[in-house]
Amino acid sequence: MTEAKLARLCDAKPGERFRIAELHIDGTMKRRLLDLGFVPGCEVTVLQKSPLGDPTAYRVSHTTVALRIEESSNIYGERIGHEQSL
Amino acid sequence: MRATVPPNPFDELMNSAQSLSDGNTREQIVSAIFQTSQAICHETVTYTKQEKRYETEKLDRIFTSKLWGFPIMLAMLAVVIYITIAGANIPSSMLAELFGWIEGYLTLAFKAMHAPDWLHGILVLGLYRGTAWVVSVMLPPMAIFFPIFALLENYGYLPRVAFNMDRLFKSSGAHGKQSLTMAMGFGCNAAAIMSTRIIESPRERMLAILTNNFVPCNGRWPTLILLASLFMAAGYTGGWKTLVTAGVVMSMVLFGIIVTLTVSWVLSKTALRGVPTHYTLELPPYRRPKIWDTIVRATLDKSLYVLKRAVTVAAPAAILTWVLGNIHIGDTTILAYMAHALDPFARELGLDGYILLAFILGLPANEIVLPVLLMGYLSTGALTEVDSLYSLKQIFLDHGWTWLTALNMMLFSLLHYPCGTTLVNIYKETKSKKWTFVSFALPTGIAIAVTFLTTQIVQWLGLL
Amino acid sequence: MSNHYEYTIALAGNPNTGKSTLFNLLTGLRQHTGNWPGKTVIHAEGFFAHNNRNYRMIDLPGTYSLYSNSADEEVARDFIIFGKPDVTLVVLDATALERNLNLALQVLEMTHRVIVCVNLMDEAKKKGIRINVNQLSKKLGVPVVPISARNKEGINELLDTIDRMVCGDIETNPIVISYSRSIEEKIAKLVPLVQETIGNEYPARWVALRLLDGDTSLLQALQQEQHRLLKEVPHYACHCSAKSV
């Protein structure tokens, strides 16, 4: 799989769904992300940005978790379309 | 079987494990576990009301929206402060009356026993009055503030504050969770120091510890509230007065937050250099708290805490103050001597010697700063119970107070060194005399600088 | 108030699952807090009685996993492994079962004396989330008790289940997670080595997995524990009970 074809999670817009393929993060942060459900193969939905633009809240594994751009720009995967409006 | 002789079998085991493992092991393990739980959930969980599932997300779109996120946060803070101010007055004066009534009987009892005057002085006028003041001034606001705060916490609002504010903390080099430890600081800085444990990176934890003092704790709310209502909201009456008081107190809180961010920024560029570590923040679903349970538990916990503190900290300080105020050298008390010695320096800060002395004697507990001050002014040698706010203000005016004195005292109270308990906790948590000293000296330096500048600027502008 | 106890229960769970609510509900004012030895992690224990049995409950720090990413997780892991609680009660949030189950699955790899307690059933019901508790219990191989700690619902059933487990009336058969083939092969190679080195005192498959994950802190802890056992110092639990009056 080449990185060029993969999108970054930080580029997905609110309302968009995203399937994680690779985490380009190491150490404790990677383990923490895995524990929270940012696991390759899993789907996350972008919920919204904080009032100041960063961090961004994601729905992952039926919970809401906020990530800063430092993390979300290193999570690669596929943008798989918009969520049906709620 | 091989006998377990050196080399250490544990090392051998680790080596063989390491030779088998590759960089992706954790990912594979966690993936397998997630797949298992997904499979289990698939078979055991069904969703019937789609629309209900996203309630929290809908609320978040308001509470953390670009437009409303900050206004709602500020409004909540204002409402909490307003309710605390508006609600605490009556129970405070009722408690004060109750304690005064009991004191009458205590005095009678001492007279009946023919106890010497000094004993009555130490125990009733010193110990009892000091403790009673702390309890009656502290307990009502605490009993209002903490339950409201606990309700917001249990509802799940606090993580949203951290979410909204994260960017500010990040750009000042601090940890996003610092806003949560600051929220604790509104109650008690000593407890908040313990709560900084949620920040794992030592550098950012130290930032949180060193700056926690800039959020006013429960021991300082009464000082801020009282001075704001006496001097800043003097021209208003009724509901407006409370509103203006709340507004002034809130500006103090906001100023404290600005100082926190600025100091964090400076420190993370100098002594505590480094980049903020990354973190994840879960935003748990909003849950309607068990209102009654929350109120009862928060009130009980905090009331016990106040009582304990009153007995262990305020009581000895009250005795000391009584002693200082009653031992005469020549025709002046020790207290007066000390105040005169401090006066020239204090004047530069727009304060006076008694105010500074009250802050120094108030090191064990911020709660006793105001009572010590009044005692010094009235030189009755005992903590005073002042019967009305009007006479209280008159005492201040008689000692040359202006709104600038009040403002400076509020600023000094907001910014000065942490109380004794907090310093002890800082030492316990950092295990470092150096950093404990910094946590004392840094805020003190800032308090002196800010009050000095305020005074000079106001005088230069000729506003007085 | 003396705090004699016969059985120890460890309370594990994700943050925000109402774990503390349950802890407070069961132990009330019979609580002590302090620090875990050598760690800046709050140690909370409490006591309660049910059916004439006296229990001690240890409220482990709320964590997302037990992979020792942090001091909290290390403390929780060490207590479950070395403290050998009679029951480990895993509290799950019914409204986010999927994420919460990860922790339960991790605990099930460490010990078979587990009761899973699905909290916040009232919230789940409000949100239209239905959980088939029997099926869940069958899948996990351990008892599952639905409760609502805030509304004090299901508490008696939970206590009875704990009771039956400490009496040995409940046989559990925890689910075994199957990993990818390469990992399973490595586990198979390591398990005999693990058993040879540390005996059967600890779950070999789990230890092997942790070692594959490069968890050196566990090995250090195991080594220290081994020394302790050799010197025949009583159980791990001693430093906790020293505080009880």
DSSP string, A2-66: -GGGSEEGGGSPTTEEEEEEEE---HHHHHHHHHHT--TT-EEEEEEE-TTS-SEEEEETTEEEE
In this complex, is the C-beta atom of B397 within 8 Å of any C-beta atom belonging to chain C? no
Give the three-state DSSP class for B73: helix
Q: Which chain B residues are Cβ-neighbours of C221 within 8 angstroms?
A: none
How far apart are the CA of A5 and the nearest CA of chain C, in angstroms?
Answer: 26
User: How large is the average pLDDT for residues B195-211?
Assistant: 90
Answer with the residue of higher pLDDT: B70 or C41.
Answer: B70
Residue B375 predicted with pLDDT over 50: yes
User: How large is the average pLDDT for residues C63-69?
Assistant: 86
Measured between CA atoms, the residue of chain A closest to residue B29 is A34
- Residue B251: CB atoms within 10 Å: 13
Nearest to C211 among B13, B33, B47 (CB): B13
Banded pLDDT at B309 (limits 50, 70, 90)? confident
User: How large is the average pLDDT for residues C172-188?
Assistant: 92
Nearest to B45 among C130, C196, C208 (CB): C130
Measured between CA atoms, the residue of chain A closest to residue B164 is A50
Residue C234 predicted with pLDDT over 50: no
Give the H/E segment covering residue B333.
strand B332-333
User: How large is the average pLDDT for residues B238-254?
Assistant: 89
How big is the CA angle at B359 (ends B452 and B97), to the nearest 5 degrees?
130
How far apart are the CA of A12 and the nearest CA of chain C, in angstroms?
Answer: 23
**pLDDT of B143:** 83
Which has the closest alpha carbon to C176: B257, B224, A82, B33? B33
User: How large is the average pLDDT for residues B382-411?
Assistant: 81
Residue B121 predicted with pLDDT over 90: no
Answer with the residue of higher pLDDT: B6 or B318.
Answer: B318
- List all residues 6 or more positions away from B14 whose beta carbon is below 8 Å from its beta carbon: C211, C216, C219
Residue C74 predicted with pLDDT over 80: yes
How far apart are the CA of B343 and the nearest CA of chain A, in angstroms?
Answer: 46
How big is the CA angle at B340 (ends B334 and B346), to the nearest 5 degrees?
130
Q: Which chain C residues are Cβ-neighbours of A36 within 8 angstroms?
A: 64, 99
% of chain B with per-residue pLDDT over 90: 40
Banded pLDDT at B355 (limits 50, 70, 90)? very high
Q: Please state, in angstroms and rounded to a whole number, the distance separating the CA atoms of residues C93 and C62.
A: 12
User: How large is the average pLDDT for residues B327-351?
Assistant: 90
How far apart are the CA of B30 and the nearest CA of chain A, in angstroms?
Answer: 7
* Selected residue of C16, C63, C64, C179 to mutate for chain A interface (largest A Cβ count, 10 A): C64
**pLDDT of C240:** 34
Structure ipTM: 0.91
User: How large is the average pLDDT for residues B317-344?
Assistant: 87
pLDDT tens-digit map of C124-158: 998 899 999 999 999 999 999 999 999 999 999 99
Answer with the residue of higher pLDDT: B330 or A72.
Answer: A72
Measured between CA atoms, the residue of chain C closest to residue B50 is C128
Measured between CA atoms, the residue of chain C closest to residue A38 is C99
**Concatenated DSSP letters for C159-214?**
HHHHHHHHTT------------HHHHHHHHHHHHHHHHHHTTSS-HHHHHHHHHTT
CB contacts under 8 A, A 21-60 vs C, are 28, 31-32, 35-37, 60
Q: Please state, in angstroms and rounded to a whole number, the distance separating the CA atoms of residues C243 and B168.
A: 43
**pLDDT of C235:** 43
- Residue B59: CB atoms within 10 Å: 15
Answer with the residue of higher pLDDT: B234 or C10.
Answer: C10
Answer with the residue of higher pLDDT: B463 or C121.
Answer: C121
Q: What is the pTM of this model?
A: 0.85
For chains B and C, count residue pairs whose Cβ atoms are closer than 8 Å.
Answer: 134
pLDDT tens-digit map of B64-98: 999 999 999 999 989 988 898 888 878 888 888 89
**CATH at residue A44:** 2.30.30.90
Q: Please state, in angstroms and rounded to a whole number, the distance separating the CA atoms of residues B35 and B37.
A: 5
Residue C1 predicted with pLDDT over 50: no
CB contacts under 8 A, B 55-94 vs C, are 55
**pLDDT of B18:** 76
User: How large is the average pLDDT for residues A81-86?
Assistant: 69
Banded pLDDT at C238 (limits 50, 70, 90)? very low
Residue B384 predicted with pLDDT over 70: no
Q: Which chain B residues are Cβ-neighbours of A53 within 8 angstroms?
A: 167
Structural contact between residues B245 and B78, judged by C-beta atoms closer than 8 angstroms: no
Nearest to C69 among A32, A37, A60 (CB): A32
Q: Please state, in angstroms and rounded to a whole number, the distance separating the CA atoms of residues B311 and B120.
A: 18
Structural contact between residues B32 and C184, judged by C-beta atoms closer than 8 angstroms: no
Number of domains, chain A: 1
Banded pLDDT at A57 (limits 50, 70, 90)? very high
How big is the CA angle at B28 (ends B24 and B34), to the nearest 5 degrees?
145
Q: Which two tokens stand for residue B235?
A: 């021209």
**pLDDT of C97:** 94
User: How large is the average pLDDT for residues B19-37?
Assistant: 86
**pLDDT of B379:** 64
**pLDDT of B387:** 57
**pLDDT of B48:** 87
CB contacts under 8 A, C 191-210 vs B, are 193-194, 196-197, 208-209
User: How large is the average pLDDT for residues B401-408?
Assistant: 94
**pLDDT of B273:** 86
Q: Which chain A residues are Cβ-neighbours of C69 within 8 angstroms?
A: 28, 31-32, 35
Structural contact between residues C62 and C74, judged by C-beta atoms closer than 8 angstroms: no
The domain in which residue A50 lies consists of: 3-82
Residue B442 predicted with pLDDT over 60: yes
**pLDDT of B385:** 58
Do A64 and B54 make contact, defined as CB atoms within 8 angstroms? no
Residue B11 predicted with pLDDT over 80: no
